[in-house]
Amino acid sequence: MPFKGKPPGHGSGDISHRTQELRPAIGLTASAAARARALRRRGLAPAEIAERFGVSIEAVEKALLQMRSPRPESTRGTLNITLAAHRFVLAERQDEEPLWQTFDRLVDELLRLRASAAVAKRKRSDPSEAERLLPGLLG
């Protein structure tokens, strides 16, 4: 069943404007904060970055606090899917099953169906037992 949803729009992963307004002012422009984070990733200390930009160390530390850091052992992921796919997964839920369990169950079912289809395809491509015993009789 093909999904007929629209892909996410431009900037769909960007920070909400409301969230941005709620954050305190950091004393650096957005581009300067991005450059400060890049310098920090390269290993520069906050004091060195502040000296390079000519701002207080507090402003640099505020900018660096907003850096995202990778989680080494994430147990969950975000799946960016269309609304149609989301509705499909919701429709497949059993009772009050969490969405992640529903999705895992659907993927498991897909993998089992593919495996059984591959076995059936191999059986069709191989001559059957009767064809091997009596060649040309079933043709």
Side chain identity at 126, as an amino acid letter? D
Tens-digit pLDDT profile for residues 52-70: 999 999 999 988 887 777 7
Residue pair 40/67 in contact by the 8 Å Cβ criterion: yes
d(C-alpha 123, C-alpha 18), whole Å: 59
Read off the pTM: 0.42
Tens-digit pLDDT profile for residues 68-99: 777 677 666 777 888 889 899 999 999 988 88
Cβ-based neighbours of 117, under 8 Å, separated by 6 or more? none
d(C-alpha 80, C-alpha 47), whole Å: 39
Residue pair 63/37 in contact by the 8 Å Cβ criterion: yes
Domain ranges for the chain, please list them.
Answer: 17-65, 83-129
